[in-house]
Amino acid sequence: MRGGGCERAGEILGCKIDPVDLEQALGRCEAAIKSGGVAQHMSINVAKLVAMRDDDGLRDSVSRCELVTADGQPVVWASRLLRVPLPARVAGIDLMSALLARAAKRGYRIYILGTRPEVLERAVLRIRAAHPKLAVGGYRHGYFADREEADVAAAIARAGPDILFVAMSSPRKEYFTARHRDTLGVPFVMGVGGAIDIYAGIRSRAPVLLQRSGLEWLYRLAQEPRRLSGRYLKSNTRFIALLSREIMRDRAGSAYNRVPQAASGAR
């Protein structure tokens, strides 16, 4: 995918993001599955951009992914302010939904790893109901100890899925997929975060208007204020500060580069 000479829109606060919309991202996913190699996708939102500044392991995991997309609308807006515009937001749950439909149509086998046992069971039932022809190669909850990681990865490899959806918290899912990428041997691996909660029906998505206005985080905050309030306050505040500094640096660099041209013109 990346090795095929795909151009990047540029860096957003040090993170390279692929300039694709949902349909283009889906095409890249399917190309990876058909290639029979091993490829990984990463969704980038404000929280992850901020976390990458202090977490070398997370930053390295993201840089090794073959497909990196902007999950949050604020990331798309940031790209435009930094003059490396991304064409669209590619929400993780939207890409997962498109992949499930494509898997049912093409006969790709899926495997789901993560979340609580009861939530996962409910989500799998609802996914199967929505896609009766979908081949579910297996699923496993995400509550296992670090010492069990190798066994979990080996079990997934034995199931032989074409697509692995990892529904664990960040950065745990990034570390897991990075450490066991070769053992897993899955053609396409995707972290899906809280998407399984939505499929299970225990959480709902924000209305489309809030999604488009970049306020989906506010809707999530209303659903889980205790867990998310501190995290959002910290990450959003730092994101604004980092973005402001980057914009000023970009503008200052542009102004400096224009000076010799102006002087030359004057002569």
> Quick check: 127 pLDDT over 90?
yes
Confidence band, pLDDT 50/70/90 cuts, at residue 216: confident
- Beta strand 15-16 with 11-12 is antiparallel
pLDDT value of residue 250: 81
Cα–Cα distance for residue pair 38/120, rounded to 1 Å: 25
What the block records as the tokens of 188 is: 């396409």
Nearest to 49 by CA among 40, 41, 59, 60: 59
Mean of pLDDT over the chain: 90
207 or 90: whose pLDDT is higher?
A: 90
Most confident of 157-171, 206-220, 251-265: 157-171
CB-CB neighbours of 17 under 10 Å: 27
- In DSSP terms, 165 is beta-bridged to 112, 190
Say whether pLDDT at 264 is over 50.
no
In this predicted structure, the answer to whether residue 8 has a pLDDT above a threshold of 80 is: no
pLDDT at 266 over 50: no
* Per-residue buried b or exposed e for 212-237, using 16+ beta carbons within 10 Å of the residue's own CB: eebbbbeebbeeeeeebeeebeebee
The domain limits of the chain are 2-242
Each residue of 220-253: pLDDT tens digit?
878 888 887 888 889 999 999 999 999 998 888 7
For position 256, what pLDDT does the model report? 61
pTM to 2 decimal places: 0.89
- The per-residue DSSP string of the chain comes to -GGGT-----EETTEE-----HHHHHHHHHHHHHHTS-EEEEEE-HHHHHHHTT-HHHHHHHHT-SEEEE-SHHHHHHHHHTT---S----HHHHHHHHHHHHHHHT-EEEEEES-HHHHHHHHHHHHHH-TT-EEEEEE-S---GGGHHHHHHHHHHH--SEEEEE--TTHHHHHHHHSHHHH--SEEEE-TTHHHHHHTSS-PPPHHHHHTT-HHHHHHHHSHHHHHHHHHHHHHHHHHHHHHHHHHHHHHHHHHHHHHHHHHH-
Quick one: which of 39, 33, 36, 29 has its CA closest to 3?
A: 39
pLDDT band for position 146 (cuts 50, 70, 90): very high
Q: What's the half-sphere exposure (Cβ side, CA atoms, 13 Å) at 26?
A: 15
Q: Do 100 and 33 contact (CB within 8 A), yes or no? A: no
